[in-house]
Amino acid sequence: NDWSLYAFDMELTRVTVMDPLYTQVGSPVYERKHGATVRMLLKGLKILATILFDDWEMDISKWTVRYNIDMHIACGSGESPGYIAHYADNFNAYELEEAVPEVGLPLRRKRMLYETIACSGNTAPHPGFMEEVEVEE
């Protein structure tokens, strides 16, 4: 499965959708792929905010959506996790502070996987990638 990043700006009431596979298509294509997800996430955010904050009011119709068109050359299927890790590290609510590198994203993807598994401060035992079992004859 390919990954996308949804960034919510509560002050500007804006959702930025970054999909590294769809950087060279127009908004209608993005809307077909991400529109229902954006609406579902906004509805969930509204419910959550009313539970957490007594005076919170959120008018979903006032929110705008931005898509990352022409941010870089679209990646191939299966390459998106490295791009999403780069977006998460470098997106400042307006743009990427560092352009997507031409090389190195597979390494970034592996580092992200390692960081997730290592979970700094995690005291739970780390799961193994392989489990050894006896073969019954």
* pLDDT tens-digit series, residues 9-37: 989 999 999 999 988 888 889 999 999 99
Query: Is 41 part of any domain?
Result: yes
Query: Is 80 part of any domain?
Result: yes
Query: Is 51 part of any domain?
Result: yes
Structural domain count, the chain: 1
Amino acid at site 52: L
- Domain interval for residue 35: 5-118
Q: How much is the average pLDDT of 109-128?
A: 66
- Distance between CA atoms of residues 128 and 117, nearest Å: 10
| pLDDT value at residue 61 | 94
* pLDDT 10s digits, 43-93: 999 999 888 888 888 999 999 999 988 888 888 888 888 888 889 989 998
- 69 exposed, middle or buried (CB, 10 Å; 0-12, 13-18, 19+)? middle
Query: Is 129 part of any domain?
Result: no
Q: Are strands 14-18 and 64-67 parallel, antiparallel or unpaired?
A: parallel
Query: Is 131 part of any domain?
Result: no
Query: Is 44 part of any domain?
Result: yes
Query: Is 123 part of any domain?
Result: no
Q: Single out the residue of 104, 114, 98, 115 nearest to residue 82, CA to CA.
A: 104
Residue 12 DSSP symbol: T
Query: Is 130 part of any domain?
Result: no
Q: Single out the residue of 103, 104, 73, 71 nearest to residue 5, CA to CA.
A: 71
